[in-house]
Amino acid sequence: MECNVDIHEATAAQTCVLPQHIQAIACDLDMTLALSRQPIEQSMAQVLCELSWHMPLAIVSGGAFHLFEYQLTPYVDAQANRKHIYLLPTSGARRYEFINDTWQCVQAHDLSDDDKRMAIASLTRRAHELGLWLDDSMVQGDRIEDRGGQITFSALGQLASRAHREAWDPQRVKKNALARLVAQDLPHLTVKTGGSTSVDVIAPGIDKGFAVRSLAELWHIDVRSIAFFGDRMQNDGNDWPAAKEGAYAIHVNNPDETYTVLSAWAQALAQRKLC
């Protein structure tokens, strides 16, 4: 990690102390609020509901909105102040807000149809060249997914188990090689590694740094006043841009660590309100 970017570890005791300057919270979804591709736990849902009454709360994920609908929105219910909750799939390429009792897309930076076609063609060709286009019997779910503002290649498929995904390319050599070749084909777009087995093609400038910057503008606060929780804070991880942009970055290894910090913060905010 770059020396000029501060990353706070969730396991450090002082991280559970809510910094006075924090005015909003943003969190990654997979392995931060929930296990990969799994619904959030009831305890996590409860603490998110509590926090939403104290300050704005955003969930920023590289995944598509349908994953929010499976993992998050059914559990963040009427107990929450949903007008304070903002959902940003595809790393902020889209933003959803709760309007008229439903989640509605209020902003979208989608790829053009031509860019989508070129991205799919490049990912397909380069994956074949590198031997990363696996036999169908080894793939679970969609291999290439159109997420509107992002085209994502998942070597093992969208539904592969976490264990299989993490074992496939632990040193990130395979997906980094694919990302480099696709970037050569698509110099006008941004190509990044995403999850354990994925490569994303997105519009230039769209990442979690863009997401926290746009949220700061929306909320009329300094980006440094946003606490951002994420599990991929290494400098090639998809949470790193939020830290680099200046958010108060907190690295977690799993949802339990996130819950420990958020529940402590929720208690501190509740006590502050009573004072």
Q: Angle 173-185/113-129 helices, nearest 10 degrees?
A: 130
Catalytic residue among 30, 169, 207, 239: 30
Q: Is 272 exposed, middle or buried (0-12, 13-18, 19+ CB in 10 A)?
A: exposed
Whether residue 110 lies in the annotated active site:
no
Please provide residue 57's backbone torsions phi and psi, each rounded to the nearest 5 degrees. Answer: -135, 125
Q: Amino acid identity, residue 99?
A: I
Q: Which residues are annotated as a binding site?
A: 28, 30, 37, 147, 165, 198, 200, 231
Q: Amino acid identity, residue 192?
A: K
CA dist., res. 57 & res. 34, Å (int)? 16
Whether residue 28 lies in the annotated active site:
yes
Q: Which residues are annotated as a binding site for alpha-D-mannose 1-phosphate?
A: 37, 147, 165, 198, 200
Catalytic residue among 6, 28, 113, 222: 28
Tokens found for residue 120: 């799919």
* Closest of 67, 217, 208, 85 to residue 145, by C-alpha: 67
* Closest of 41, 83, 5, 8 to residue 265, by C-alpha: 8
Indicate which residues carry an active-site annotation.
Answer: 28, 30
